[in-house]
Amino acid sequence: MDNTALIITIAVLAMFILLFLIIKTKLQAFLALIIASLFVGLAVGMPPQELITHIEESMGGTLGFVALIIGIGTIFGEVLRASGASEKLALTLMDKFGEKNIVWALAASGFLVSIAVFIDVAIVILVPLTYALVRRSKKSLLYYGIPLTAGLSVTHTFIPPTPGPIATASIIGADLGYVILFGVIAAIPAVIIAGPIFGTFISKKIYVGIPEQFEKSTFEYDEEKLPGFRGILIILLTPLLLILGNTFSDLLLPEGNIIREILMFIGNPIIALLIVTLLSIWFYGHRRGFTKEEMQRITTRALEPAGIIILITGAGGVFGQTLIATGIGDILADAMQTINMPLVVFGFVTASLIRITQGSGTVSMITAASLVAPLIPHFDVSEPMLGVVTIAIACGGTAFSHVNDSGFWMANRYFGMSVADTLKSWTVMKTLVGLTGFAVCLILSIFVP
């Protein structure tokens, strides 16, 4: 067997081992990625001690940035959740949009809330709001629930500082400013098509009432105790604007310009998130009556889910760096050039296949990014194009949600649907999000240098 065939065989076996461990043995993805990396390193003849050093260095190199972003970002989201900011945002938008445009208000609510709050937490918080609407209108729960969850899904998947795009961008080296810019551009048509448009259509085909276990649930709130709408909107959008300011000041202002230096400092993703997190702790924590001890518990609790995502991201970086060491990038790049496959398409297809196979959107994105990373040096990929590739991978990681995805079962439970109806509604909604976003990425790839 020649060297090329050997490397391809090792890479294929590594993917098989990875998926087998995650799907069949239910091994935690972090451990599965480390084991797959060890297999690749040993199979290509890397000395064991050198392999261990390689893993340690790759893990540290990946996590230096990601751990800080995800750690600070989850604290930011948890403080907003605990303050009632998510509910206030949704209720205000529903009031401003009016009864006729309620589905657009729900889509916008999901879109904004998911900037800071994890999607599973946001579903638990916001879906009960729709039960009151169902009681009043007698319409299918899907009429309200699909637009809401489409908004949540789009932002959670496409727009930093959520974990998926952060991890993907880190592994392939994309600038977060471009990821945010192209994520928003892809997200708007995706949420419109998969949310209000599809929600209105599917609600006429499938009637879903309030799930029996939630029939007696009511959403009660004291308007005076909820934070102000304008302040919530400002604090949610501030980190995105600061990060975009960092990217464009680097492009538009000359080196040595004091404004450029300030914008690049406060727009560094770590500093931008740190600023808004400290502001949220003050305004939505201490100023609203939380004691120091309560704030410590809230911020500590936020780091529990963050730890898992950080470790999986680090292990994904290790897997990617180990594949790079094998030389698989040369082989894949030659094959893609032979069949004329753009990097955007490869990223989407790879993430989609992994998503269909093992279920987790975050793991799909991280693994696909690990396979794209070895290709980057072989293509003339600009900073903006890396942002487009990141979103394409994210699109593959969100589409095709089905029975092996935990989100599928959350929708099944909170909407009280059969498996068949969940496939017809939730799965189609997630797939529309991914395919619409990918279509936008293909268009962007024509114009982005």
Residue 43 pLDDT exceeds 80: yes
Is 164 within 8 Å of 365 (Cβ atoms)? Answer: yes
435: CB partners within 8 A, 6+ apart: 395, 399
Confidence class of residue 218 from pLDDT cuts 50, 70 and 90? low
For residue range 70-86, list pLDDT tens digits in order: 888 888 878 887 877 77
d(CA 417, CA 20) in angstroms, rounded, equals 30
Chain Cα centroid distance, residue 351? 13
Residue 224 pLDDT exceeds 70: no
Structure tokens at 191: 């949420």
Going from the C-alpha of 66 to that of each of 161, 169, 273, the distances in angstroms are 10, 9, 12
CA end-to-end span of the chain, whole Å? 40
For residue range 293-349, list pLDDT tens digits in order: 888 888 888 777 677 778 887 887 788 778 777 777 677 777 776 777 889 999 999
Quick one: three-class SS letters along 57-75?
Answer: HHHHHHHHHHHHHHHHHHH
For residue range 426-446, list pLDDT tens digits in order: 999 999 999 999 999 999 999
d(CA 443, CA 360) in angstroms, rounded, equals 27
Backbone angles phi, psi at 290, to 5 degrees: -70, 135
Task: DSSP letter for 227, please.
Answer: P
Nearest to 308 by CA among 74, 122, 65, 82: 74
Confidence class of residue 213 from pLDDT cuts 50, 70 and 90? low
Is 395 within 8 Å of 437 (Cβ atoms)? Answer: yes
Return the pLDDT at 389.
Answer: 95
Is 250 within 8 Å of 264 (Cβ atoms)? Answer: yes
Is 411 within 8 Å of 365 (Cβ atoms)? Answer: no
- Length of the chain, please? 449
Structure tokens at 11: 């890479």
d(CA 344, CA 360) in angstroms, rounded, equals 21
Structure tokens at 71: 């750690």
For residue range 55-73, list pLDDT tens digits in order: 888 887 767 777 888 888 8
Is 170 within 8 Å of 65 (Cβ atoms)? Answer: yes
Return the pLDDT at 70.
Answer: 81
Chain Cα centroid distance, residue 178? 15
Q: What is the mean pLDDT of the segment spanning 392-399?
A: 94
Nearest to 92 by CA among 283, 189, 236, 280: 236
Q: What is the mean pLDDT of the segment spanning 122-138?
A: 79
Instruction: Name the one residue in this structure whose structure tokens are 């949704």.
Output: 90
Instruction: Name the one residue in this structure whose structure tokens are 């003849």.
Output: 45
Going from the C-alpha of 263 to that of each of 275, 387, 421, the distances in angstroms are 13, 20, 49
Return the pLDDT at 187.
Answer: 95
Return the pLDDT at 48.
Answer: 86
Return the pLDDT at 219.
Answer: 52
For residue range 142-165, list pLDDT tens digits in order: 998 999 999 999 998 999 888 889
Torsion of CA 348, 354, 358, 360, to 10 degrees: -40
Quick one: three-class SS letters along 362-389?
Answer: HHHHHHHHHHHHHHHHHCCCCHHHHHHH
d(CA 66, CA 288) in angstroms, rounded, equals 30
| Cα-Cα-Cα-Cα dihedral sign, residues 297, 299, 303, 305 | positive
Q: What is the average pLDDT score of the chain?
A: 84
d(CA 106, CA 118) in angstroms, rounded, equals 17
d(CA 165, CA 421) in angstroms, rounded, equals 29
Of 7 and 206, the structure prediction assigns the larger pLDDT to 206
Return the pLDDT at 74.
Answer: 81
d(CA 250, CA 242) in angstroms, rounded, equals 12
Q: What is the mean pLDDT of the segment spanning 229-242?
A: 86
Return the pLDDT at 53.
Answer: 87
Q: What is the mean pLDDT of the segment spanning 187-216?
A: 87
